[in-house]
């Protein structure tokens, strides 16, 4: 993908994140709010696919994670669940895709704030 694609996806992620926050303040139902946050996360993922070094996309995903978990403790619980998933993975299984493993590690990194 072209770097301009990364910027477009990053901008869309920011828009969806803002809309999710606005809906939350407005008192919208949880499904609506969650859908905006999921759309934001998908856009940040697409930005990372276009530019794997995009710190803004990683930061955006971390903001989505925080908004969804609601608290630092919630983010830590999510990170713990991701660690459990990592430990349960059978990396010797040929059907295990590198993309799914990489995605899980990225989520873990974002959740913990540690590389």
C-alpha 75/C-alpha 97 separation (Å) is: 26
Q: Which residue has the higher pLDDT, 94 or 56?
A: 56
Mean pLDDT of all residues in the chain? 78
Q: Which domain holds residue 29?
A: 1-70
Are 65 and 19 in the same domain? yes
Does residue 24 have a pLDDT over 90?
no
C-alpha 56/C-alpha 34 separation (Å) is: 21
Question: Average pLDDT of 72-96?
Answer: 64
Question: Average pLDDT of 104-112?
Answer: 62
Whole-model pTM: value is 0.61
15: alpha, beta or left? (left if phi > 0; alpha if psi -120 to 50): alpha
So what's the pLDDT on residue 18? 95
How many separate domains does the chain show? Answer: 2
Are 85 and 38 in the same domain? no
């Amino acid at each position: 993908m072209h770097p301009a694609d990364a910027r477009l996806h990053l901008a869309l992620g920011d828009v969806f994140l803002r809309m999710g926050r606005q809906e939350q303040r407005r008192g919208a139902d949880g499904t609506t709010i969650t859908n905006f946050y999921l759309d934001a996360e998908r856009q940040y993922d697409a930005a990372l696919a276009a530019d794997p070094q995009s710190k803004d996309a990683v930061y955006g995903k971390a903001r989505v994670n925080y908004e969804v978990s609601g608290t630092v403790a919630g983010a830590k619980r999510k990170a713990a669940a991701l660690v459990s998933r990592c430990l349960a993975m059978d990396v010797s299984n040929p059907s295990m895709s590198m993309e799914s493993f990489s995605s899980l590690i990225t989520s873990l990194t974002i959740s913990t704030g540690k590389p």
